[in-house]
């Protein structure tokens, strides 16, 4: 066994135990683990980015412009909603009905992006 210290890290080399990449099986396993974690992170980030885009579209376009026929893009048919005034609804049609009433009460309601 040969131990080599480079920049404060110790690398151990075992004769006859390296993989085709030149790394020991233990080191290759750690590299593969990090690669898998990175892939999981990038996959999760792509999902989050897509969900945020959908959410932004819902807020800035669908809600603010009262495009109720598009509400199904982000809501299921059996959506359950607890409103701030305490009432509860079940179903997208009732939710749309309540949203329309909100705009009767406050016609200038909109969601705007500000920094």
Residues forming beta bridges with residue 89, ordered by sequence position: 81
DSSP 78-109: T-EEE-TTS-EEESHHHHHHHHHHHHHH-TT-
Listed by start position, the domains of the chain span 17-105
| CA Rg value for the chain | 27
* pLDDT tens per residue, range 48-72: 999 898 888 888 889 999 999 999 9
Strands (E), the chain: 2-6, 9-13, 80-82, 88-90
* pLDDT tens per residue, range 70-90: 999 889 999 999 999 999 999
As a whole number of angstroms, the distance between CA 7 and CA 30 comes to: 20
pTM beyond 0.75, yes or no: no
């Amino acid at each position: 066994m040969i131990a080599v210290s480079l920049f404060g890290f110790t690398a151990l080399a075992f004769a006859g135990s390296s993989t085709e990449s030149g790394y020991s099986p233990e080191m290759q396993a750690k590299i593969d683990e990090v690669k898998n974690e990175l892939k999981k992170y990038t996959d999760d980030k792509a999902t989050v980015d897509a969900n945020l885009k959908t959410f932004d579209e819902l807020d800035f376009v669908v809600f603010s412009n009262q495009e109720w026929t598009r509400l199904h893009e982000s809501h299921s048919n059996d959506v359950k909603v607890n409103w701030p005034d305490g009432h509860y609804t079940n179903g997208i049609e009732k939710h749309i009905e309540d949203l329309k009433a909100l705009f009767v009460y406050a016609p200038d309601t909109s969601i705007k992006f500000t920094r």
